[in-house]
Chain A
Amino acid sequence: MMRGQACGGGDIADHPPAIESAQLLRAYRWMLLARQLDETMWALRRQGKGHFAVSCAGHEAVGAAAGLAVDLATDVLAPHYRDLAACLAWGLTAREVVAHYFGRAADPCTGGRQPYAHWGSRERRIISQEGPQPNVVTHAAGLAYAARLLGEQTVVWSAFGDGGAQKGEVHEAMNFAGIHRLPIVFCVENNLYTQSVPLSKESAVVDLSLRAQGYGMPGISVDGMDLEAVYAAAAVAVERARAGQGPSLIEARTYRFRPNTSNDDDTRYRDPDEVDRWRERDPLPLTRSRLLERGVLSEPDAERMATEIGQEVADAATWAEAESDAEPESALLHTWADRRVRAAAE
């Protein structure tokens, strides 16, 4: 466990807040729903029904912890593309997720304009995720600045991968956030690979939280498979941000169990044994057994919960698959506020 490995800032690790049982159960539900949706969407891709899947499997604890740490009524999520659990915490429904996956007209995030895992919802305070990673980090910083200027108490949770963390983009955003002590939490979900390239070829330092020192903010590396460990760091960081003490950097060490996307072949660069070893630390069974240990959940309750979620996911998949695609001509909408794009004259 890497819990409490603070780098530079200090106080994140000093007072790990305890997690309430009810909260733990809530987070577990997000994680389980995310995992089951993920498996269903992965399967639909293999059946040739979906075009493209991006798995969140392995990352669920991070997003769920964020969901617990923030105030979901006010705070903003700038998601990493493996943050399905966080998006569910912020209010996306199973049906909406699968509609987005199929790119149906009912896709509330993009209306079929972006492939899966490009979430976004103004109503749910989820910033639009984009293709070039991780541009959303700078948007998050700008939004945090704006929120404060507008007199709001909003905190922004900005997550990105270890690959994204290497871009100059992130340096610019974190530097600015540090200078202006913005109400933002940066969270690197370090799963050790940028698609195929291992961390050793991405970063000269192993602890990505070390970077925080350069921006005058606290940084901490935590076990990203451990919901409570992530929560402990996240809660402190969110509290700091809300109190006007500025940003923090959390490195959540995690792993992706599946290939980078449904178009990737991870056997070309990862040893299957390595994947198996990490699967032993799967955050779902880990959280489940903790719930059982503490008597928050009984075995029958856990089974029932899994079945209910399974039904919710099956319903979402059936419904979304039957939904209609967007009208082709609707592609001409939404480039401009005030006019439809003229169809190309040929």
Chain B
Amino acid sequence: MTIAERASAPAEAETDHTLTLIEAVREALDEEMARDARVVVLGEDVGKLGGVFRATDGLQARYGEARVIDTPMMELGIAGLAVGMAMKGLRPVAEIQFADFMHAAADHIISDAARMRFRTQGDWTCPLVVRTAYGGGFRGGPYHSQSVEAYYSHVPGLKVVVPSFPADAKGLLLAAIRDPDPVLVLEHKRTYRAIRGAVPEGEHVATIGQARIVRAGRQLTVVAWGWVLHESLAAAEQLAEEGIEVEVVDPRTLVPLDEATILASIRKTGRLCVVHEDTRTMGFGAELAALAAESALDDLRAPIRRVTMPDVAGIPASGPMEDYLIPDRDRIARALRELAQVDRAAARSIGMPTRGDGAPNAPQIAEQSAQDQALPHRAGSVGAVREPPLPRGADGREARFVRGANWSDLMVASATTVPQATSVVEVDLSKVAARIDDSRAAWAERGIGADYTPFLVRALAAAVARAPQVNAIWDAEARGARRYHALHLGLSVLAADGESARHAVLPDADTRNLFGLAIVVQATREAGAQAPDCLADATISLTDYGPDSALFAVPLVLPGQVAAVRAGAVAERLLARDRGFALAPTVHLSATVDHRALDGMDAGVLLGEMKRFLEEYGGDEA
């Protein structure tokens, strides 16, 4: 095939330039048509007009009417012709002007393009590309606004890519044209001109089937594509201001899906929110939810959430109606905020007391596990929606700390039913103090005061990661402790007035960054007085009454939890150092454990890890 042999070697990409997404599409088409004479473009208005979105602007003038083909208005025919062209050895790029018109072309795409290789055992193949503009936001009404990814992602044999950034628009389109299988390229028309970005000049071929972490975070995973990906990024920005770290994953390719990258993110954060502009039922979000449920259920801390177009029969042309329906940054942020608070208390793994009394037998564990999953145990926090508390122990002998319980009774219960063992360590805070000094100005700019407590929380989280047995709930019936994956910290801090205590539960304290913790700690100090009942939802407690008070104090374990940590006053003290003495900011940390579930040694391990974290503090985060 002479024309194929003329395909020249690609030029190496050298530099980037800034393009809109539509310019990147055009650049890819232009470069590939110049490189490979087998590439043809066909569609409605792709010639002199250059496409209704101008994706093919100038191409007909450059490559001629035979290679840039203005077809009659016939979506089915366009797809069918492309099939025949591809079978003969061309590399057709068909443009379906609006994704809404894909339905007319579907027979050739589904029945033929996607199935050609299969039905002929690879004898005939269909290396074609169908590009189409999808999505709303233009007051286009029900027939110029649809999202069609779910229909076509259900078609084995057809790859589906959704570039959301200019570099991907170019890279994925080039990859699609060179792919041996048919590829549907979905371009959100709202991104065409609104999204600009760096695009490598010359040869830039992306890998189909690779997702990208667009924004890293620890607390939540958002998977989104198209316009709502950009809205999700804006929402993530909002949440970062509130100390919630959202990871945003751009799948880039829906078929084949980069399951590994998405699952790794879900496993890291424990929470999944899928955002798509397509309608909800049987949308691609359902597939992602199934993926998470099949492969990462144990890692999920919250039910999977979907933010989507409601199941309306069409997107109205009316602006207010359209805006109401399409997920935007505020709607996404609301969903993420709620999701960040939810925890399904990953009680699937049952942590046994390390050297406890009377280990429950297997049937008891199984029964308890079943009960655990039935019980709505959610962590609360400042401003969070609360779920009803766990019921008291069925035997009535030993009350678990529940909201509304009389505090004095609880303290009595703690003292009389929980055998407690306490350890104390002295911690040099020099490095933390230096870090606080470094951050003081930046934090102050954002209205947050310098504070040791966020560092103590980070230290506790680090310690729990090394000694997970301390983050657990004592189960009276099972006579054992259930470990929690999630660290829900019961935080009791000195109020801003310096005279009273404030309480809050920090769900997922281990996933929050330092600044996020600082925000919450300050908010807690400044909150109005409240009963400590909320601490019922915690899995471990930390008290910081120390700054203005005692050298150290013995914390009580709240019935139900198995460990509590308390900080004494931070003060400059003489520490032995380098065969001499040095003055250093110092704190004494004490830990008490429930001796039925843990040993005194566990208290020592907990404190040892906290001490090491704080004394070796190297700025574990920005």
Contact = CB atoms under 8 A, between A and B. Distances in A.
A334 B122 contact: yes
A141 B72 CA distance: 14
Interface string B98-128: 0000000001100110011111111111000
B346 to A, nearest CB: 23
Contacts of A254: none
B67 A149 contact: yes
Interface of A is mostly: loop
Interface in A291-346: 333-339, 341, 345
B77 interface: yes
Contacts of A150: 1-3, 88-90
Nearest to B128: A142
Nearest to A118: B119
A313 to B, nearest CB: 25
On chain A, which size bracket covers the interface?
35 or more
Interface in B334-381: none
Interface string B482-519: 00000000000000000000000000000000000000
Interface stretch (A43-51, A80-88, A128-136): A128-136
A18 B517 CA distance: 94
Contact of A109 (B40, B112, B120): B120
A120 interface: yes
A149 B112 CA distance: 22
A128 B118 contact: no
A275 interface: no
B384 interface: no
Interface string B44-73: 000000000000000000000011000110
Given A132-B107, A149-B66, A336-B181, A127 B81 contact: no
B571 interface: no
Interface in A95-154: 108-111, 113-114, 118, 120-123, 127-128, 130-132, 135, 137-147, 149-151
Contacts of A265: none
Chain B, interface size category, equals: 35 or more
A146 B121 contact: no
Contacts of B156: 335, 341
A127 B125 CA distance: 11
Nearest to B159: A336
Given A336-B117, A336-B157, A146 B84 contact: yes
B74 interface: yes
B80 A139 contact: yes
Contacts of B621: none
Contacts of B107: 132, 135, 169
Nearest to B180: A337
Given A114-B119, A135-B112, A335-B117, A142 B124 contact: no
B157 A335 contact: yes
Contacts of A132: 107, 111
Given A127-B84, A179-B72, A335-B117, 18 more contacts: A118-B119, A122-B124, A128-B120, A130-B115, A130-B119, A131-B111, A135-B112, A139-B84, A142-B83, A142-B86, A142-B87, A145-B85, A149-B40, A173-B81, A176-B74, A335-B157, A336-B181, A345-B294
A-B interface, 8 closest residue pairs, ranked by CB to CB distance from nearest: A142-B84, A138-B80, A172-B77, A146-B88, A142-B81, A139-B84, A337-B180, A143-B84
Interface of A: 108-111, 113-114, 118, 120-123, 127-128, 130-132, 135, 137-147, 149-151, 168-169, 172-173, 175-176, 179, 333-339, 341, 345
22 contacts: A118-B119, A120-B124, A122-B120, A132-B107, A132-B111, A135-B108, A138-B81, A139-B81, A139-B83, A143-B85, A146-B89, A146-B90, A147-B88, A150-B88, A172-B72, A172-B80, A176-B71, A176-B77, A176-B81, A334-B117, A335-B117, A338-B180
